[in-house]
Amino acid sequence: METANKDALKRIFLFVFITFSLTLAYCFLLLYPQVQNEASGIVPAVPTQLLVAAVMFFPSLGVLLTRLITKEGFKNSWLKPNFRKNLRFYLLAWFGPGVLTVLGSALYFLLIKSSFDPAFGFMRLTLEFYGTAADAMPAQLAPILLSQFVQALLLSPILNFVLCFGEEWGWRGYLLPKISEKLSTLPALFITGIIWGLWHAPLTAIGHNYGVGYAGFPFTGIGMMCLFCIVIGIFLSYVSLKTKSCIPAVLGHGAFNGIAKTGMYLTADGGDPFVGPAPTGIIGMIPFIIAAVLILFSLSGHKKETA
C-alpha cells in the first residue's frame, strides 16, 4: 500500500511538472515573441489567438508522457463516455454553463445598469475587428446576437471539443482522479482548481482574460484566475466524478468557452473582466459560485476514489 501511495504521488508531481514545463517553454519560446510583435501588447491578433489556443493541448500531452514514463499504461483513463444512467449529467454539462452565464450577466446588468449599451458597442467592435462592418449588416444586431447565443448554446460543446479535450483529459481525466485517491473530495477539488489556475499564469501575464495594466498586474489577475478555476472546476469535476469520465467535463468546458462572452456584447467596451458581465468577473461568477456551493454540499459525503 505504501508503494502504491508513493507511485500515485510520483505520478501527480510528474504530470504537473511536465505540463507546467511544456507550457512555460512554449510560452517563452513561441508565444511571448509573437505577443511582443503585436502593437497592442496583449493577445488580439488571430495568429496569436491560435498560439494561445494551442496551449490547451499540453495537459493531455502531460498525461501521455506521464503514463508512458511511469509505465502506468492507459487503463482507467476516464475516456469512456459512460452514457448509461448518466444522461442528466451530460445535459447539465451541455446546458449548465449557458444558463449560469446568462444569470451572471443578468445580475451584473441589474446591479450596474449604466454598463448596458443598447447599441451593442462591444459587438460592433468585435465585428469590425474581424472585418465586418456592423452598419452594413442587413439585420439588426439584437437578432444576430440572439441567433449566435442559441447556436453557441447548442453547438459549442461539439465545436470546441478537440481543444477542450486537450485540457480536460489532463485536469479532470488524470489529475482529479489521482488526487481523489489521496484526499477527500473537498480538498481534491480545491487543489485541482488552484493547479489549473496557476497553469494559466503565463497567459494571464500577457493579458489573457484580464487584460494588462490593472492594479497588482499580473498577480491580481493570476489570483482571480485561480478563484475562477476553483469555481468553474467544481462544476466540471462534479460531472466527471459522477460519470467516471472526463467527456462531460470536455463538453461543459466547450459550452462555457462558446458562451462566456455573451454578456460582454451588451456593453460598450466589454465590461470589467474583474467584475462582469463575463463569468471571469466576481459578479458574473456569482451563479457559478452558488452552483459550486450546492455541488460541494451534494458531494460532502463522497468518499475518496479507489485506485
Q: What is the pLDDT of residues 81-130, one digit of tens each?
A: 999 999 999 999 999 999 999 999 999 999 999 999 988 888 888 777 66
Question: Does residue 230 carry a pLDDT above 80?
Answer: yes
Q: Examine residue 147 and state whether it is found in any structural domain, yes or no.
A: yes
Question: Does residue 291 carry a pLDDT above 90?
Answer: yes
Number of domain units in the chain: 1
Residues contacting residue 111 through CB under 8 Å, at least 6 positions apart: 283
Q: Examine residue 306 and state whether it is found in any structural domain, yes or no.
A: no
Q: Give me the pLDDT at residue 36, please.
A: 77
Q: Give me the pLDDT at residue 35, please.
A: 81
pLDDT tens digits for range 121-156: 888 887 776 666 666 555 577 888 888 899 999 999
Higher pLDDT among residues 208 and 63, named by residue: 63
Q: Examine residue 63 and state whether it is found in any structural domain, yes or no.
A: no
Q: Examine residue 268 and state whether it is found in any structural domain, yes or no.
A: yes
Q: Give me the pLDDT at residue 5, please.
A: 64
Question: Does residue 43 carry a pLDDT above 50?
Answer: no
Kindly indicate the confidence band of residue 305, based on its pLDDT and cuts at 50, 70 and 90.
Answer: very low
Round the average pLDDT of the chain to a whole number and report it.
Answer: 90
Residue 105, CB-side half-sphere exposure with 13 Å CA sphere: 19
Question: Does residue 219 carry a pLDDT above 50?
Answer: yes
Q: Examine residue 56 and state whether it is found in any structural domain, yes or no.
A: no
Residues contacting residue 9 through CB under 8 Å, at least 6 positions apart: 182
Distance in angstroms (rounded) separating the CA atoms of residues 270 and 11: 41
pLDDT tens digits for range 233-270: 999 999 999 999 999 999 999 999 999 999 999 999 99
Q: Examine residue 227 and state whether it is found in any structural domain, yes or no.
A: yes
Question: Does residue 307 carry a pLDDT above 50?
Answer: no
Q: How far is CA 116 from the centre of its chain?
A: 25
Mean pLDDT of 266-282: 95
Distance in angstroms (rounded) separating the CA atoms of residues 94 and 271: 26
Cα distances from 238 to residues 165, 233, 244, in angstroms, run: 16, 8, 10
Q: Examine residue 203 and state whether it is found in any structural domain, yes or no.
A: yes
Q: Give me the pLDDT at residue 306, please.
A: 41
Q: 154: domain range?
A: 78-298
Q: Give me the pLDDT at residue 138, please.
A: 52
Question: Does residue 203 carry a pLDDT above 80?
Answer: yes
Q: Examine residue 229 and state whether it is found in any structural domain, yes or no.
A: yes
